[in-house]
A and B are shown apart, each in its own frame.
Chain A
């Protein structure tokens, strides 16, 4: 693993250069909220980004994605697959979201491979960035994620004084740095140590210590526990937690038809919505809200682990910050560990 330095004032010019070959997707601020969006100019980029509202999973798994179009006007059925992805650079991804890509890969890249996701994944270079502060809701360390480690990125930046330490983590990252080598310098002594020291400072900032050991097994005994009904009493049954979660990936597929033409698309779905498991017969195996809420926690904290050997939650804290009625997954984890056998 190679490491370089990038002077702070060279970051924007470097990103600007990338725009010549790639679609640049970066953190952008709008009305005090952060979103990852394609930018026309690097001046739009928020350089020291906090946590975005909508996670960057949106780039690989868009909220609405056309799968194919059809046309029958000629009398014959003409199908056009809408499989396309521009080469892109995704800049400014924090370690929790970097881990989320691995969780989504486990789902979408298993056989048969989801070609829409795979193409975007293949065509995107990821530039990670270490956290400079810990939000009150963060708990990534519970999952072995460090706020200064770039696993999952092609290159990872950590701000140290007037420079960024640049860790080149993949072959693709190496190619990118080689292509733009005039922006980079060799790493010097002391920078790596300063970065590690930052890790110590940050670990003191987490407000709640969360332990997830043994959670999937514990949950296995708690399916019928009344806790889920109690928790669901205040749940609104909205889709906020699901939509802002970097690892939630359920989707619905449907068609839109306009006379002779139309398209089939997929879009995000949430297991908390009433119609999530609604059958055409009218029967709904999860007709009660507590069943749907329980499903979400089981999927996040157990099924992902059991099915893919990777934890479903990355401790980003978005659901904690944005749930209107303070359903706090950290509290659920702690309660569950104390319940049952």
Chain B
């Protein structure tokens, strides 16, 4: 019953989505790096956090990102079978497939959490993924679910 001010952010022309990303060091981060090297254009809305393996992603990281103002979360890792740690991304796959369903069950739009396998050579795939996600989130508007009230 503490009177909480509900901050509902309106989608206006100036609003830009903020996407927090978790990229594994070996494949997907290298792919993002390559995109930079070959000067592929991709939206600046994405903030990438480098982790050793996509299986390092604790679902709590995802929730915390949304709580702190992220409009979307992207997790990228090596393709199954190619994980630098052999089996890490198999756990990621199970865990995040299930977690995505849980998030949708409580009212998150499915597009807000995206998981994709991006190899070190797939700079183009990286850029396409980011562009696609930014467009989808722009359409959906700012995230209201679990957003922290200051």
A-side residues, CB < 8 A to B, are: 25, 35-38, 54, 58-59, 62-65, 258, 261, 263
Q: Is the interface of B mostly helix, strand, loop or mixed?
A: loop
* B1 proximity list for chain A (CB < 8 A): 25, 35-38, 54, 58-59, 62-63
Residue-wise, chain B 114-149 has the 8 Å CB interface mask toward A (1 for contact) of 000000000000000000000000000000000000
CB distance from B70 to the nearest CB of A (A): 14
Question: What are 19 A-B pairs with beta-carbon distances under 8 A?
Answer: A25-B1, A35-B1, A36-B1, A37-B1, A38-B1, A38-B3, A54-B1, A58-B1, A59-B1, A62-B1, A62-B2, A63-B1, A63-B2, A64-B2, A65-B2, A258-B68, A258-B150, A261-B150, A263-B150
Question: Residue on B with the closest CB to A58?
Answer: B1
Highest count of chain A CB atoms <10 Å: which of B1, B2, B68, B150: B1
CA distance A258 to B149 in the complex (A): 12
* Smallest CB separation, A46 vs chain B (Å): 15
State the Cβ distance, B146 to closest chain A Cβ, in Å. 15
User: Given the complex of chains A and B, what is the CA–CA distance between A36 and B1 in angstroms?
Assistant: 8
List residues of chain B with CB within 8 A of the CB of A64: 2
Contacts of A63 in B (CB 8 A): 1-2
Query: Closest Cβ of chain A: how far from B5's Cβ, in Å?
Result: 11
Nearest residue, chain B, Cβ from A59? B1
A52 shortest CB reach to chain B, Å: 11
8 Å CB interface, B1-18 against A: 1-3
Cβ of B150: which chain A residues have Cβ within 8 Å of it? 258, 261, 263
Tell me, in angstroms, the Cα distance from A85 to B112 when the chains sit together: 38
